[in-house]
Amino acid sequence: MRKLLLCGALLWAVSGAQERPLQWLQRAQQAETSLAVAGVRLTEFQVGRAVRRAEERFWRQGSRAERIEILAPPERRGEVLLHRGGKWIAFRPDAKEAFELPAKLSQGAPLIQKAIELTQAGVLQAELLPDATLLGRACAVVRLSRPRPTQGRFELPAKAPHFPATVTLWIDKETGLILRYEASVHPNAPILRTEITRLELNPRLAPDLFTLPPGVVVRPLSGEYKSVEEAQRTVSFPIRVPSYLPAGAMLKQVLVRRRPPDNTPMVILRYQTPTAQFSVFQARQTNEAAFQRPRRRSERLNMRFWRDGDYSFGVVGDLPHAEIERIADSLSRSNP
């Protein structure tokens, strides 16, 4: 009898060890959706060789509400991101406008839920790495990855899931909270890192912490405007308009888009001539990032991209190259 009990205990332990990564994910999901926390975290986002870093102070009430205040970089200090009603809203406390954002890069409870579903379906492989310590707290480290087709029972679906190639989570053993997160598009090449540097459990949250200031109007992130003057009220930099336009060119569309991760506003002026069309792009940015050029050059399109101080510009269209250059030169001569 004693041998049977011992064998049963060993089998239970082995079974528990095999399921442990999934159990940690389930515990993290519970913590992310239910616990009230506050603190400070550092986020690093890499696009090509450009690296953007941000320091954020945050307050979170499970999955119901979250408030993030940007502490750094200096040019973004004071910006606020607010999660309520399933939507993310960006605003500055001294402004009378706020903007709806697209879904943030999947982290926290939504990412964990998807990871659990894909792991249970055999699409993702979850494994435990050696334990680690963050903020003086013991952490279980779980790595999620897409298994190779040759790995026995795992079979990759015909269409790859919308999930990073590799995700590594540092999960606090006591609370289940995710203290550090890394995501990679390609194995061993992280493009997003987030780490909590200060943590407060069960903080006292003010009733108005997750509400907008009185009188603030919420607008869509990507808006179409009737004129340049109307669009000007939504961006903090002077919009430049070409002083030269080809014969018959008319302004057909004015767009303002904000690009994640820092929601930099980009203005797009779309023009049309009797025989062609072209667009003027512009944004103010103090880092080294520039507009994403098309990966493939179309034989029909000519383009020019350049920087002028803190401003980035682009002119793209099916006009002759000389006309694109002339429009760009007239835009460069405009005073910001």
E strands, 135-272, are 137-145, 166-172, 178-186, 189-201, 217-219, 223-225, 250-259, 264-272
* Cα–Cα distance for residue pair 99/102, rounded to 1 Å: 10
Is 256 or 222 the better-scoring residue by pLDDT?
A: 256
Same domain assignment for residues 65 and 132: yes
Sheet of 311-317, strands arranged across: 223-225, 250-259, 264-272, 277-284, 311-317, 302-308
Answer yes or no: is pLDDT of 135 > 50. yes
Structure tokens at 40: 């400070």
| Structural domain total, the chain | 2
- Residue 286 phi/psi, 5-degree rounding, is -95, 0
Q: What is the pLDDT of residues 185-244, one digit of tens each?
A: 766 566 889 999 999 999 999 989 999 988 888 876 677 888 999 888 878 789 999 999
Does residue 13 sit within a domain?
no
Q: State the burial class of residue 247 (Cβ atoms within 10 Å of its Cβ: 0-12, 13-18, 19+).
A: exposed
Same domain assignment for residues 238 and 326: yes
Same domain assignment for residues 197 and 231: no
The boundaries of the domain holding residue 120 are 20-201
Question: Domain end: 201, 235, 259, which one?
Answer: 201
Does residue 11 sit within a domain?
no
> Residue 37: how many CA atoms within 13 Å on its side-chain side?
21
Which region, left, alpha or beta, applies to residue 188 given φ > 0 means left and ψ of -120 to 50 means alpha? left
Confidence of residue 15 (pLDDT cuts 50, 70, 90): very low
CATH number at residue 48: 2.50.20.10
The reported pTM is: 0.64
Whole-number pLDDT of residue 293: 56
Same domain assignment for residues 197 and 226: no
